[in-house]
Structure 1
Amino acid sequence: MNYQNEIITILHQPLQNKLSAEQIENLIETPKHTHMGDVALPCFELSKIERKNPAQIALELAPQLNTENTIISQVEAAGPYVNFFLDKSQFATQLLKTIITEGQQYGTQSYGAGKTITMDVSHPNIAKPFSMGHLRSTVIGNAIGNLLEKTGYNVERLNYLGDWGTQFGKLIAAYKLWGDEEKVRANPIQELLNLYVYFHEKAEEDSSLDQLGRDWFKKLEQGDEEATKLWKWFREESLEAFQTIYDLLHVSFDSYKGESSFHAQSDQIIEMLDQKGLLEESDGAQVVRLDDLNMPPALIKKSDGTTLYTTRDLAAAIYRKETYQHAESLYVVGNEQSLHFNQVRAVLHKLGYDWSDEITHIAFGMMLKDGKKMSTRKGKVVFLEEALEKAIQYAKENVEEKNPDLAQKDEVARKIGVGAVIFHDLKNDRRNDIEFSYDEMLRFDGDTAPYLQYTYARAKSILRKAGATSTSYQFHEADWNYAWPIIQKLASFPEVIQQAVYYYDPSKMAKYLLKLAQHFNSYYANVRILEESPYQPSRLALVESVSVVIKEGLSLLGIEAPEEM
């Protein structure tokens, strides 16, 4: 329910020869003071078109507007503005009935129905622990996927594992030189990380080690039995460790096809590029020149004959289009890969694939530690599992202190701790860098998930104490100062979903929920909700509606809402 849409329709009837519905939507605004109405149309733009005084236009336009059988109670001209006053009681009644009747389906839309979108998300590198850096792709991608599904799209979530490339040649070389099988089997991911970091430390002293790593990767690409056996072992151990993280985050995928799945197609890509006359030699390597697009060449095959992830990404992109027939192919990958995806798009276009413009890079900033980029090879990294466990433990201590008799404390602590970590990421514009901070992440007041979860639990507690809700929605005038901002926020929930989808930006939903919770907590502090009166049923209806929207909004972000805290 969007009263602004109704006002746009009312205005468009007399203005359709002068302004489009979209132009009217961009012009209307919310007045600063309530005595000036709920929505206003400034007439300055019309003044330019009609070459008349804007105040005169407002005077002439107001009587022409047909508001019969609408939620508009009054229209008036005030200087250069046409002001609209809503029948708040009627609007609130309709809205709350809709939310309570539809429940978690409120806000669901169908404009994406019949269309498939593929999402390349998470994609951690095997044989390395899941770092906080990989959290960003995982939770941003999961939230965008949820929002797309809410608007009707079929979403295919693809975990394109980083399981191929020179780094695995280096890891195999490190294991062959210094590895201890018993140690690796006892603690695979940590030991493999130690070997990887040690290799890079030694390579700074002995440059021949880098060549040894490249040689082992070439063996892997050529199907060498020993290299393949070690690589498969590293991959299996990694997937098992990753699954622990995904289970905690309640995230799942439709495919785990990693880079290695497209290694075999690399030769076909190279042949296609060659047949089209696109391949050129550069210092012994094979490249596709993109000078006409003001981009550096796309490196397709290195001078030692091994392929690069650009080659595999081209093969994966073609496979995804042929397999899923997507309307759009999203890649939730860091800002630093922008050039890479521009090159992939450009090469696909040169190969004659018109659907290359369906590829969209959903870029995001870095997770910083002490203002610097995290680096696995330098050993400067925060592990996600460690952060989640610490957050859950902190939440458990908080629950023990504030509500020691709470049932299922461990499960509630898990929801709070994991939610805190996810929301710390999603409340920020995805394009910005984020400073990793336990203190900021685990605060239980302010702009945090625990604050939203506690608001939801408070609403559910009120409803339990009341025992039942009612179908009466007649608000008392004294309530409007605190109730109306909530009503306006609840009404805009479907629009916020659209905006978050349009910009691929979950922070729009996160910020919306924080504002809704602030309005509700102000209402709770100033209105005696449980006091017996003729207005109690409408107050409870408002509380129930808030609980529905907060729970669904958090769910879209991939965060669970405990009934009690």
Structure 2
Amino acid sequence: MMIETIGEWIAPYLQVPKEEAARRLETPPDPALGDAALPCFALARELRKPPQAIAAELAERIAHPMLTCRAVGAYVNIALRREAVAPRWLEAVEAPAFRAAREPRGERVVIDMSSPNIAKPFGIGHLRSTVIGNALRHILTADGYDVVRVNHLGDWGTQFGKMIAAYRAWGDAEQLERRPLAAALELYVRFHEEAERDPRLEDEARAWFAKLEQGDEEAAKLWRFFVDTSLQEFRRIYDRLGVEFEYELGESFYNDKMQPVVDRLQDAGLLETSDGAQVVRLDDEGLPPCIIVKSDGSSIYATRDLATAIYRRETLKGDRLLYVVGSEQAVHFRQVFAVLKKLGYAWADACAHVPFGLMRVEGKKMSTRKGRVVMLEDVLNEAVERAAAVIAEKNPALPDRRAVAEAVGIGAVVFGDLKHDREGAIDFRLEEAVRFEGETGPYAQYTHARIRTLLSKAEPAALEAAAPSPAALAGDDAWALLKQLSGYPAAVREAAERLAPSIVARYALDVAKAFNRFYHAERVLVDDPAEAAAKLRLARAAADTLQAALGLLGVEAPERM
């Protein structure tokens, strides 16, 4: 809001539209230099004058009553007249409409997210797709999009042949009923260990999957058991994370939709035979051939993803299709989108892979085949217990302590992921994530709770007792907090444009830091009604903004901690 406002006010002096004026402005590295800076290097080329001379002329010429301008070298440093501007801005940032969603754009975004494999544990490696996708849903909704979340469950493929073969060789029905995913993981790991010694097991697995595809009764019964029990386990975890889906459609849902895609490719003359397989050549895209039908006649991921994209466009009516999937699948999605374009689907340009980096735990890479899986539920449980211990120590009389510990523990894990750049690798360390100090979710949550507690100590009429004192909002720390709050819409807009939840997470931390600096520097509950009203209303706006920002990330903001 600040840069846009200054841009609007100086635009007539630059003789450019207000949007262009705002684009030219920079934020000074030191707040003491002002609230914005206008570099004059580009103007020097246009006006054929030294930039220092242009800066001096503009500083003299800009005479807006809300601004103070000063030339410093090739820059015009611009400061807002705090006591004149602050009351207006306070009124703006405390209004619920300031944090409300934008007007609907009339554009639907379908997000492919989470997508765990059936009969495998929900490990911490699944966390990233789940929470990044969920945060993007909230952020894009706030930016005016109609968002649909799809859980593309891995419920088909040779892995089920492996599970069936392993169960028939070593399975224990009682164990599988009692601890389905743990027992399934043990079978899956044992299969790969045994297959290294006896490669014939891989042939047996392929044979069982072929039977499953053909409708074999025993194979279908085991497959259905794995799907149903896995979904029950997954939904418990989604409930704790506060994640919902508009659709849960497994890969098997698209079984009858793949042949029409193969037929379209054939009719379009795009299929070629290569080593017995049917492929689409993508040499013109600098990509390896996209395999559509394997040499044994079976389908492959690309075939299913082509059918999936067409379904999401034609049936779910997605204007944009986003795939929140690990970076290692980048080539695969480039191939799929390129094949869609070759089929004549212009909307392929509205398909985007939203990649994210690998997550390691305490420096170790996870592997389902080797049994190196850290169960997400175990991590959530430990995070909640650690949060509960801190709360019991700091505030033993807190009502609903267990519910607050759940919100803080889960929030610590979610925020601990989302604060990082999406495409970077993460080394997840629980001890750091659950700290109440530093750049963590609990720190932001605790700041929000601190403000709500402060507000509860004020007399109800104190916030409305008088017109807020402009001087109380003009001090350095109050002004810095007010400026930070004014940046909420811009943070949401940038996060939506870049598909980057970390922007909102960093913004929440910046608001928390700005409030805590203000709180430590200023006494809020003062006797003067006008001063108290200004400070309390500023604090309330900070709490509302923190709550909104955390909500976009899928993190709760407890009222007390």
Superposition TM-score tier, normalisation by shorter sequence = over 0.9
d(CA) in 2 for partners of 1:393 and 1:413?
Answer: 7
Counterpart of 2:499 in structure 1 is: 504
Counterpart of 1:52 in structure 2 is: 49
Counterpart of 1:3 in structure 2 is: 2
Counterpart of 1:552 in structure 2 is: 548
Higher mean C-alpha deviation, range 460-469 or range 369-378 = 369-378
Higher mean C-alpha deviation, range 216-225 or range 499-508 = 216-225
The 1:46–1:133 alpha-carbon spacing in structure 2 relative to 1, beyond 3 Å, is same
Unpaired segments ≥5 residues, structure 2: none
Structure 1 counterpart of 2:296, from 278, 285, 304: 304
Query: Is 2:558 aligned against 1:562?
Result: yes
AA in 1 matched with 2:424: N
Counterpart of 1:86 in structure 2 is: 80
SS at match of 2:369: coil
d(CA) in 2 for partners of 1:219 and 1:20?
Answer: 67
Counterpart of 1:67 in structure 2 is: 64
> Per-residue CA shift, 1:87-136, capped at 9, x if unaligned?
2233321222223331xx43334265211100001101011111111110
Once the two structures are TM-superposed, the CA of residue 290 in structure 1 deviates from its matched residue by: 0.9
d(CA) in 1 for partners of 2:84 and 2:424?
Answer: 42
Structure 2 counterpart of 1:40, from 37, 42, 45: 37
SS at match of 1:83: strand
d(CA) in 2 for partners of 1:212 and 1:362?
Answer: 36
Would the aligned equivalents of 1:262 and 1:315 in 2 still touch at CA under 8 Å? yes
Structure 2 counterpart of 1:95, from 89, 97, 101: 89
Query: Is 2:197 aligned against 1:205?
Result: yes
Aligned ranges for residues 133-144 of structure 1 at < 5 Å? 133-144=125-136
Would the aligned equivalents of 1:10 and 1:65 in 2 still touch at CA under 8 Å? no
Would the aligned equivalents of 1:259 and 1:309 in 2 still touch at CA under 8 Å? no
SS at match of 2:273: strand
AA in 1 matched with 2:24: L
> Per-residue CA shift, 1:314-366, capped at 9, x if unaligned?
00100000023222110000000000100000111111111011111110011
d(CA) in 1 for partners of 2:22 and 2:209?
Answer: 57
Higher mean C-alpha deviation, range 337-346 or range 262-271 = 262-271
The 1:49–1:311 alpha-carbon spacing in structure 2 relative to 1, beyond 3 Å, is same
Counterpart of 1:283 in structure 2 is: 275
AA in 2 matched with 1:11: I
Once the two structures are TM-superposed, the CA of residue 39 in structure 1 deviates from its matched residue by: 1.7
Aligned ranges for residues 396-411 of structure 1 at < 5 Å? 396-411=388-403
d(CA) in 2 for partners of 1:204 and 1:404?
Answer: 55
d(CA) in 2 for partners of 1:255 and 1:485?
Answer: 43
Query: Is 2:533 aligned against 1:541?
Result: no
Query: Is 2:483 aligned against 1:488?
Result: yes
AA in 1 matched with 2:557: A
d(CA) in 2 for partners of 1:32 and 1:306?
Answer: 59
Counterpart of 1:384 in structure 2 is: 376
AA in 1 matched with 2:84: Q
Counterpart of 1:152 in structure 2 is: 144
d(CA) in 2 for partners of 1:58 and 1:176?
Answer: 81
d(CA) in 1 for partners of 2:3 and 2:196?
Answer: 63
AA in 2 matched with 1:67: H
Once the two structures are TM-superposed, the CA of residue 281 in structure 1 deviates from its matched residue by: 1.6
Would the aligned equivalents of 2:472 and 2:478 in 1 still touch at CA under 8 Å? no
Could you tell me the TM-score, scaled by structure 1's length? 0.95
The 1:131–1:78 alpha-carbon spacing in structure 2 relative to 1, beyond 3 Å, is same
> Per-residue CA shift, 1:373-393, capped at 9, x if unaligned?
211111011110111111111
Query: Is 2:328 aligned against 1:330?
Result: no
The 1:536–1:10 alpha-carbon spacing in structure 2 relative to 1, beyond 3 Å, is closer
Counterpart of 2:263 in structure 1 is: 271
Could you tell me the TM-score, scaled by structure 2's length? 0.95
d(CA) in 2 for partners of 1:421 and 1:190?
Answer: 22
Would the aligned equivalents of 1:200 and 1:377 in 2 still touch at CA under 8 Å? yes
Counterpart of 1:176 in structure 2 is: 168
Higher mean C-alpha deviation, range 263-272 or range 404-413 = 263-272
Counterpart of 1:446 in structure 2 is: 438
Counterpart of 2:427 in structure 1 is: 435
d(CA) in 1 for partners of 2:329 and 2:316?
Answer: 24
Would the aligned equivalents of 2:478 and 2:518 in 1 still touch at CA under 8 Å? yes
AA in 2 matched with 1:295: L
Higher mean C-alpha deviation, range 297-306 or range 449-458 = 297-306
Once the two structures are TM-superposed, the CA of residue 400 in structure 1 deviates from its matched residue by: 1.2
Once the two structures are TM-superposed, the CA of residue 419 in structure 1 deviates from its matched residue by: 0.3
Once the two structures are TM-superposed, the CA of residue 74 in structure 1 deviates from its matched residue by: 2.7
d(CA) in 2 for partners of 1:316 and 1:516?
Answer: 41
The 1:244–1:7 alpha-carbon spacing in structure 2 relative to 1, beyond 3 Å, is same
d(CA) in 2 for partners of 1:301 and 1:230?
Answer: 26
Structure 2 counterpart of 1:525, from 500, 520, 525: 520
The 1:33–1:174 alpha-carbon spacing in structure 2 relative to 1, beyond 3 Å, is closer
d(CA) in 1 for partners of 2:67 and 2:92?
Answer: 21
Aligned residues: 557
Counterpart of 2:359 in structure 1 is: 367
AA in 2 matched with 1:551: Q
d(CA) in 1 for partners of 2:341 and 2:323?
Answer: 17
Would the aligned equivalents of 2:2 and 2:487 in 1 still touch at CA under 8 Å? no
Query: Is 2:352 aligned against 1:353?
Result: no
Once the two structures are TM-superposed, the CA of residue 249 in structure 1 deviates from its matched residue by: 0.5
Query: Is 2:235 aligned against 1:243?
Result: yes
d(CA) in 2 for partners of 1:65 and 1:168?
Answer: 71
d(CA) in 2 for partners of 1:35 and 1:440?
Answer: 34
AA in 2 matched with 1:540: L
d(CA) in 2 for partners of 1:91 and 1:11?
Answer: 15
Aligned ranges for residues 251-266 of structure 1 at < 5 Å? 251-266=243-258
Would the aligned equivalents of 2:67 and 2:79 in 1 still touch at CA under 8 Å? yes
**RMSD of aligned residue pairs (Cα, Å):** 1.8
Counterpart of 2:158 in structure 1 is: 166
Higher mean C-alpha deviation, range 105-114 or range 398-407 = 105-114
d(CA) in 1 for partners of 2:272 and 2:218?
Answer: 34
Once the two structures are TM-superposed, the CA of residue 416 in structure 1 deviates from its matched residue by: 0.5
d(CA) in 1 for partners of 2:368 and 2:360?
Answer: 13
The 1:372–1:302 alpha-carbon spacing in structure 2 relative to 1, beyond 3 Å, is farther
Once the two structures are TM-superposed, the CA of residue 479 in structure 1 deviates from its matched residue by: 6.2
Would the aligned equivalents of 2:473 and 2:535 in 1 still touch at CA under 8 Å? no
Once the two structures are TM-superposed, the CA of residue 144 in structure 1 deviates from its matched residue by: 0.8
d(CA) in 1 for partners of 2:34 and 2:360?
Answer: 46
Once the two structures are TM-superposed, the CA of residue 280 in structure 1 deviates from its matched residue by: 1.5
Counterpart of 2:415 in structure 1 is: 423
AA in 1 matched with 2:46: I
d(CA) in 1 for partners of 2:473 and 2:162?
Answer: 71
Would the aligned equivalents of 1:92 and 1:473 in 2 still touch at CA under 8 Å? no
